[in-house]
Amino acid sequence: MGKKVSVLVVDDSHICRQLICEALSRDSDLEVVGTANNGKEALDAARELRPQVITMDVEMPVMDGLTAVEHIMAEVPTPILMLTADPRQQAPELTCRALELGALALQIKPAIDAGTDAWNLSREVKLLSSVRVIRHIHSKRRPPLPGAGTVGTTPTPVMGMPYGVLAVASSTGGPQVLFRMLSELPADFPTPIVIVQHINAAFSESLAGWLANSSKLKVRLAQDGEQLLPGNVLIAPPGQHLVIPFRGRVALKPGVERDGHMPSGTVLLESAAKAYGRRTMGLILTGMGEDGADGMVAIKQAGGVTVAQNEESCVVFGMPGAAVARKVVDHVIHGDDIAGALVRLARGESLAVGR
């Protein structure tokens, strides 16, 4: 048996701490090495214990969970799973702010009287324990560069026309990148954007609202049959695949998981390639697994342009790395530079070689 994954449990409720600890202790691969009643205690414990994963409540006295996440990710970067009440009872930015600060995932707390079986945290905690987190100091973001790193050549849209769609696949660590990208894209960005972001289903509406508040574009969850229009960003809702059955429209389709996900980035990207051919832009961001890689193959084969986040700026290089390994990525770009690169590509400009 390998070494157990060490976990720090943070919650101001004694009952919640007890339920979380009991749920985690049932998995022989996990070990709760400490608990904390508030964010200040959590920061002190993180410094001393160096746990592999932290479960973090949001609303706590002395120091709240969001402030604790900010301090922990700046001082002792650790994979953090935020546990919170139903986001529909909170402002959208409250929980999603945690993602911007560096937390990796969000999960809703079950009702206290639901029993420990409802607190099914083990799988998520074990997945997060394998993530290489990076230090977050949000007051010192790296400024965008005028050029972006690139490999290969840039396909040219048919007859000089703008790209018809930008299809995006994103997972662990992706909300932070999407937040910056959408906040920096101009209101006149000419290409409609469709996004699959893997996230706990309960937080989809909260995520869309949080991203919408940061962007000059119109951001919302996609509806079946909705038009693809410049200045609009459509995000796949949970439990259905988001596809582009033909140019100018999206559809929501039930089905089975692809690459372990529904909605699936690959399903979206493949449908975009089929509908728009050479006028397709595909973007794959940080995330575990390989979702989206086969979709990037389809876009490349259709003559479209493919962009991947680089390893340096990824929380997890799994999804972009899988696409790069298939040799179907035209441009490998730092997460901070993606918005600028997309603007240039949408205008038909080439990207500078080298950084």
**Residue keyed to tokens 């001393």:** 48
Please say if 198 is a catalytic residue: yes
- Strands 80-84 and 30-36, by their bridges, are unpaired
Q: Which of 122, 170, 171, 271 is catalytic?
A: 171
Please say if 291 is a catalytic residue: yes
Q: Which of 12, 57, 71, 198 is catalytic?
A: 198
Q: How far is Cα 14 from Cα 141, in angstroms, rounded to an integer?
A: 37
Backbone angles phi, psi at 14, to 5 degrees: -60, -40
3-state secondary structure the chain: CCCCEEEEEECCCHHHHHHHHHHHHCCCCEEEEEEECCHHHHHHHHHHHCCCEEEEECCCCCCCHHHHHHHHHHHCCCCEEEEECCHHHCCHHHHHHHHHHCCCEEEECCCHHHCHHHCCCHHHHHHHHCCCCCCCCHHHCCCCCCCCCCCCCCCCCHHHCCCCEEEEEECCCHHHHHHHHHHHCCCCCCCCEEEEECCCHHHHHHHHHHHHHHCCCEEEECCCCCECCCCEEEECCCCCEEEEEECCEEEEECCCCECCECCCHHHHHHHHHHHHHHHEEEEECCCCCCCCHHHHHHHHHCCCEEEEECHHHCCCCHHHHHHHHCCCCCEEECHHHHHHHHHHHHCCCCCCCCC
For residue 66 the two structure tokens come to 């969001």
The closest alpha carbon to 309, from 322, 297, 300, belongs to 322
Q: Which of 11, 57, 259, 291 is catalytic?
A: 291
Tell me the chain's radius of gyration from C-alpha atoms. Answer: 20
Q: Give the active site residues.
A: 171, 198, 291
